[in-house]
Every structure is written in structure tokens, then in C-alpha cells.
A = this chain, B = another copy of it.
Amino acid sequence: MTSNPRVVFAERPAYGELPAVGKHLIFDSSPTIDLDNVPLNGGFLTKTLILSPEPAMRERMRDPSSVSYTTTFVVGAPLIGFGIVVVLRSEKDDVKAGEYMYGMTPWEAYTVQPYVEGRVEFKSEEWAPETFDMDSLALRVVPSLKDAGLPLTTHASILGTPGLTAFVGFEGLVEAKAGSTIFVSSGASGVGSMVIQLAKLKGMKVIASAGSDAKVEYMRSLGADFPFNYKKQSYESALAQHGPINVFWDNVGGEVLDAALVALVPRSRAIICGVIAIDNAPPTERYRLKNTDLILKKRLELRGFIVPDLIPQFIGRFVVEVPMLVAQGKLRSVECVTEGIENAPQALIDTLKGREAPGKPVVVVAKE
């Protein structure tokens, strides 16, 4: 028998509460698995290589009665998130041993797929209208990237959901014009770093915020013209200095959005891609927006979007253009690596509350 450690979603954090290791997220080293003989039931056995802690996972921890865009996690089962796995054995025709796959997978070392224990059995009538069944983002085969000289982690970063989110949102909503100014909050994140690079490819001027000096240098290395540390310079002050802005890409919400409403030019757009600042705050401490009259007075558009909304329109271009731009060195993928599944719970919490180090957070569970 082989050890099969996992990260269990043990308890829902309260509204606005940051999840804690040992309470909401529990590392359990006790499970074992017989890799040679475990029944596959027509499916396939995978070994987890990379897990991808992402801010959107916080929303799946909420109580299911709270309306949102996504289904929730199942208490008592492993966390589920994007990951990269390698196939060990298969009874499925279109999946072969040795293949790499990317998609939703449980946070454990080995899995008989398709995985069911922690997955919501999705009946749309039981959820608010337009709720997205996140678990439907199933594993799909991906190339190993060795020949291209890229690490597999690229699939969890620029070639994965963060890159896809940035690409479809940028192509669908930014209306990029050379010389115009975009402001990106959380610019050192997986999504933010891609938005900065896409904006620079279009000749835009880029203002970008993050919460550490290391991230400021990282954003500068990606081409951001005016990266700043919001813990050292206020949003208001930085935007007054480098604005006005023609478009705002918001990964954060709350205070930064309020400041951006002041800096946006008339008839411009704020793209609301993330609200982690609000999700992390208890209800009584949530930032409340004060500048909403400017939505009228400057005829602004605030537009919430999640990636599935725009996938059908842009996925074809993404799978062709982005790998090519990466191969040409025009787009860079930088990951912030945590080693070991036992450290995965803390890596997720650090992702939610913000860490010092830049780059898309990934957890390396096993080497190839």
C-alpha cells in the first residue's frame, strides 16, 4: 500500500473569515491506496503533480445558501481545484498511461478518476440561476512542455485558468487602444501579471498595484510603467499621480474600486474580475463604496465577469495564440512554488490573504 495524503475541507469558514489550517483545512496523511490493484471502474488512476491554489476557491467554501456564480465544496471531502496530474493506469479509451492532464482534481496524492466523493452532484434547479458547476471543468490531456523548455507548472499559470481568465476578459472587455491607460489591481497575481503583459503587447500604459516591493519589481519586469505598493502609497495618491485611467481591471474590490471610480475618465469601464478584499473581510468590516455617484456623473460601466462567460467566444484564439506568444518569449509565466502537499493548506491561505513573493502560486506535490 502507498500513502495517499489529502487536504480535507473540514468546516466552512464564516462569512468573511479567512480559513485556518487545522480547522477549516485539514491535512490528513492517513489514507493509503493500492496503486496496482485499486479498481478503476472504467476510469483511470492519476498521480497529482501540481496543485493550483486560487482566490476563487474561497467562494466555493461559502454556505451553499449564499448566491454566487459557482457551486460549493463538500464538507468532509478533499478540496478540489485546478491541478496537473499524470496518468498511471487507465481503462478509458481516450486516456493513456503516461499522459499529462490539467483540470479539476482533488487535493490528494493519487486519485481514481473521474473523482466523485467531493464533487457536487449538480442539479441546476437546486442552485441559483446561472450557477456554474465548477467541477465540470474536467481533466483534459495537455502536452508535457519539455520540448518547449517550459515547466509543467505553466499549465497551472499562463496556459491554465489564470491565463485564460486574463485573455478572454482582455479580448472581450478591455477594448485596448495603444497609448491609453489601464490600471490593474493585484498585478503580480496569475491573472494580473497576464493582463499587464497583454496590455503592453497592445501598447497601453500600465499602472499596477500589489502589496510588496518584490511584487512591484516583478510587475516592472513584466513591463508595467507605474507599478506601486499600495501598502506604501495609497491608491488615491498613485492614481492621482499616474492617472487618469481609461480602463480598470479589478482583481481585488473595495477600496481600490472606490479610488478607481475617481480616476476613470468619463464613459470608461471597470472590469470586475475579483473581489478578494471583500470576501476576506467580516461583514462588519467590509469596505463600503462611497463614490458610486460617479457611475452616473461619468457615465461609467461596471462589469462583473467570470471566465466561463467568455470562453466560447475566445477559447479558439487562446489555445493557438498564447502558447505561440509564450514560445516567442513575448509572454512570461512566473510561478511561486511551494513544495509538498502537506504545505498546500497554508499555500492556499497565503494566496487568499496575499503573500510577499510574486508569481502564480503552485504547489508541487510530486516531481514528474
List residues of chain A with CB under 8 Å of any chain B CB: 59, 67-69, 128-131, 253-254, 257, 265-267, 272-275, 278-279, 286, 288-290, 292-306, 309
Contact = CB atoms under 8 A, between A and B. Distances in A.
A288 B290 CA distance: 5
A303 B299 CA distance: 7
Contact of A267 (B130, B266, B298): B130
11 contacts: A69-B297, A253-B293, A253-B296, A275-B293, A278-B292, A289-B290, A297-B304, A298-B304, A299-B305, A300-B304, A301-B301
Given A68-B297, A257-B292, A279-B293, 12 more contacts: A67-B294, A67-B297, A67-B298, A254-B292, A267-B309, A272-B295, A278-B292, A288-B290, A295-B302, A296-B304, A299-B304, A300-B303
Contacts of A131: 266
Contact of A69 (B266, B278, B289, B292): B266
Q: Which 5 A-B pairs have the closest CB atoms?
A: A288-B288, A130-B266, A302-B302, A289-B289, A296-B304
Contacts of A286: 290
Nearest to A266: B130
Contacts of A254: 292
Contact of A272 (B265, B290, B296): B296
- Which of A253, A275, A288, A296 has the most CB atoms of chain B within a 10 A radius of its CB? A296
B296 A273 contact: yes
A265 B129 contact: yes
A265 B69 CA distance: 11
A301 B298 contact: no
Nearest to A286: B290
B306 A296 contact: yes
